[in-house]
Structure formats: structure tokens, C-alpha cells
Structure 1
Amino acid sequence: MNKQRRKEIKKLHKALQNLHSRLETIMEKEEEYHANLPEQKISRIKKSVDAICSMTEAAECIAGALDYLEEIK
């Protein structure tokens, strides 16, 4: 791999790290929101749990992509 492509991979890696960090921040806020919901708000609780699960899966996918990019030399 040439220098230019490695440089582009580094930029992409950094952008994905930023995205991962932002997603984790949003997920933490949603988890806090979920923890403070009253039990009577069943539909909101379900939506919150679904959102947290989806964000967790997305974060894991991003982390996997970061791992693959780190393998590129």
C-alpha cells in the first residue's frame, strides 16, 4: 500500500473513532434516560431498550471496522 492510501486509511480510522465516541455518548445518555423512566411508561421503555440494543450493535460493528483498519500497514 502506498503512502497516500495509508494516509487516507488513517483519516478514515480517525473519523470512525470519532463516530464511535459520539455514538457511545448518545448511548450513555439513552441509558440514563431509560434508568429514570417511570415503570408506567411501558412503550417508552421498550423503545429505549430497542434503541440501546441497536446502538450497541452499531458500536460493535464500528469497533470491528476499527480493528480491521488497524491491521493495515
Structure 2
Amino acid sequence: MNKVRRSKLEKIAEAITDLKEQLETLQEEEEEYRDNMPENLQGSERYEKADEACDNLYTAVSNLEDAVDCINVATE
């Protein structure tokens, strides 16, 4: 891989890492929202939607981590 493509990939990996960190913050906020729901709402549709959002955000963060890992391997 030449220097130009390697540099472009490194910039992309940095951008993805920044986005992943923003997504992690939102994931933590959603988890806090879900975890602080009153007991009478746990098991409700609202709780289930928040829980599903947490799962999906976790998956998204994990996928971004995988993407950065793959880019790093490609630039070695």
C-alpha cells in the first residue's frame, strides 16, 4: 500500500474512532435512561424500546471498532 492510500485510511480510522466515541456516549445515556426507569415501567413497551436501542447501539459501536481494526490491519 502506498503512502497516500495509507494516510487516507488512517484519517478514516480516526474519523470512525471519533464517531464511535460519540455513539458510545449516546449509548451510555440511553442505558442510563433505561436503567433509571421506575419499576412500574420496566417491562413496558417504552422500556423494551429503550432496551432494544441499547442493544442496537452496542452493536453499532462494536461494528465501528471492528472497522477500525480492519483498517489498521490493512495499513500495516
Distance apart, 1:2 and its partner CA? 1.2
Measured against aligned partners, the alpha-carbon deviations of 1:9-67 in whole angstroms (never above 9, x if no partner) come to 01100000001100100000001101111133311110000000001111111111111
The corresponding residue for 1:66 is 68
The 1-side partners of 2:66 and 2:25 are apart by 18
2:36 matches 1:24: no
RMSD: 0.9
TM-score normalized with structure 1 length: 0.93
User: Are 2:17 and 1:10 aligned?
Assistant: no
Which amino acid is 1:53 matched to?
Answer: D
User: What stretches of structure 1 move > 4 A for 4+ residues in a row?
Assistant: none
Structure 1 distance, partners of 2:69, 2:57, is 18
Q: Percent identity?
A: 34
TM-score under structure 2 length normalisation:
0.89
